[in-house]
Structure 1
Amino acid sequence: MCKKQRFFIELSYHGQHYHGWQYQPNAIAVQEKLDQALSNFFGEKIETLGCGRTDTGVHATQFFAHFDIATEFSEQKQKRFLKSINAMLPYDIAVKHIVKVHEDAHARFDAIKRSYEYHIHFHKNPFKTHTSWLVPDLLDITEMNKAAAYLLEYKDFGAFCKANAANFTNICDVSRAEWIKEGNAIVFHITANRFLRNMVRAIVGTLVDIGKGKHRAQHIRSVIESKSRAHAGASVPACGLFLTEISYPYIVKPFEEILDNE
């Protein structure tokens, strides 16, 4: 048996049929399906640790997890890894890369930046039912963007955190927050070093209230400064939320590229 090696795995998933990323005692999670496939492939019990957690119904176009293996990862296994793992996984989970990393590398704690998108469409579309939120009202995107810009001026986002969440701190460094029009839809882009539980969906709900004319853009200042979830808008449906990018302070190259360079 060889010394344990640590790997990062990059994947994407459609969250419709899962109760989020993290293991649930009485529900199916993405982590459970991935760990089962990896354990079968390597012939040993594999337990992954994800870069974060997503709620029920939330999607990820980029997600990282790390795991350790004690068995030899032979050249033959390397060549068939992606094809074999993806064949074992459900259609709505796809592994993109495997990356060999330092034994102390950590998918969650080493991440320095995370990005999300929230998708809204305005006309009934059966092909967007599970990947976007249908809002049949006219929204003032200019006012919503004015409000979104205020987010960059604050650090404490407790007002957008799920009630009773056990957070060590509510401090987040938001570096991007803007709505972009894409055809007959709009997409909210937000980037920060970390996010609180339910934070993006609560922010979007507050911004949509502003877009509907219930409040002016400056309202979001009073919400943030209140530090109370009761003052923010309702959490929007999970279907429109995507985790889209995770950044690390080191380069995460696909394993095949590492092999080529060694």
Structure 2
Amino acid sequence: MASSLLRGYVDGKHMVLLALSGKSASGKDAVARGVQGAFPELRWAALTFGEAIKNEGRRVVAAIAAERDKAAAVDAIVADLGVSGDEAAAIVDLLWTSVRAGELTTDLRHPLVRPALQRWGQWRVRADAGYWLERAAQRLAGLQHAAHSVVLTDMRMPWEADWARREGFLLVRLDVPEAIRRRRVTSRDGAMLTPDVERDATETALDDYAGFDLRLDNSGDVEPVLAAIGSALVERWPRSSRMDTSHS
């Protein structure tokens, strides 16, 4: 088991940084859980770029649910989140009926959530290209200060991968043939992997990215994948080195 590679070395003050990339149903979450289970001595924490977007999405939904009309909701969102009135009005128009009907709540389980969050994320980047990276960096700094090892599971764009490399993450790409991914999506979600999802930049932008430390086939038994990642983590952070709580 990979954990034996770190036995006698990890004392809770060390930490490693792992970033996983892959298309839908490539097994990122399962591999993340497997790595954490393989190294139980480490104090693991999860980091996602989508976490900050979802948090702002919950605040948008809460404002729509709380205010008496659309104009008041727009004003509340502008005051809380600092977006333009036009952007706030557009998101209110998109979500108003579903929120007011009680179909869309702050748990963000609704078909409108994905397009709404995509639009919201794009607005933020248009105004400030580093907006979401800055929020990820703030979250990472807090986790490192608390001596957590960190696994990043939603690295989808080149600038996200570049940022993770600069921060010292081990970058791993999980490759799975399309036919297998389609079967996994159908089994997991009861739905087909649609062509528009397949063509989206969040699925394809890292296909040819040259900065991965490892590219692994995750179409079968996960144990070889975990073993390869475990060996790479130990090689990156050998027993003789002591990691502190500053950025790598």
TM-score for the superposition, normalised by structure 2: 0.31
Greater RCO structure (CA 8 Å; 6+ sep): 2
Structure (1 or 2) with the greater strand fraction: 1
